[in-house]
Amino acid sequence: MFLRWPVVLLALALAGCVTATPYQPRNDRGHGYSEQKIESNRYRITFAGNSATPREIVENYLLYRAAEVTLSQGYDYFVLASRQTDADTRYQQTMSAYPGFGYGYYYWYPAFSVGVSSTQTQTEYAAQADVVMFKGAKNDQDTRAFNAADVRLNLQPQVRRADASAP
């Protein structure tokens, strides 16, 4: 009976050690970025984070990836033709039947008990955008248009890569 509490506390402590999804290609758990070429200048780009990755980071990594793809394809700016962010929320409930009181089959086995319960909320965000890329100067009146070099420059300090030695 006394061994269960340290195990429960250890499990809760380890659950708090989850780190945010780094900027990386999509891994086997579905976290990270991916892109799909749709036309010569159009891509569908996604970024999915784990439960420790805030919505703002997921959306910033999506924009950062759009800037990287735009520049790697020889374009100067991109327009978000469509964009959405989805939240997948799960609830995990844990219960413990200890400590207990009363008598059951044996004098040390409780017939009933007062349990301890907790519920943990886990939300994972995934962002997706259809990106159309162009050469030249962007139209400053178009609020969906982004200068790829500026986006990369401004978001790069916030990007945490899987390999910490990479810039």
In tens, the pLDDT along 117-142 reads: 788 889 999 999 999 999 999 999 99
Distances in whole angstroms, Cα of residue 144 to Cα of each of 30, 86, 109: 27, 19, 66
Domain limits at 146? Answer: 26-99+113-158
Q: Which of 10-14, 83-87, 92-96, 111-115 has the highest mean pLDDT?
A: 83-87
Distances in whole angstroms, Cα of residue 76 to Cα of each of 58, 79, 87: 23, 11, 31
* Residue 154 included in any domain: yes
* Residue 108 included in any domain: no
> Based on the structure, what is the number of domains in the chain?
1
Rounded CA gap, 48 and 68, in Å? Answer: 17
What are the two backbone dihedrals, phi and then psi, of residue 85, each rounded to the nearest 5 degrees? -125, 125
161 token code pair: 């890569």
* Residue 92 included in any domain: yes
pLDDT of residue 162: 85
116 token code pair: 């301890």
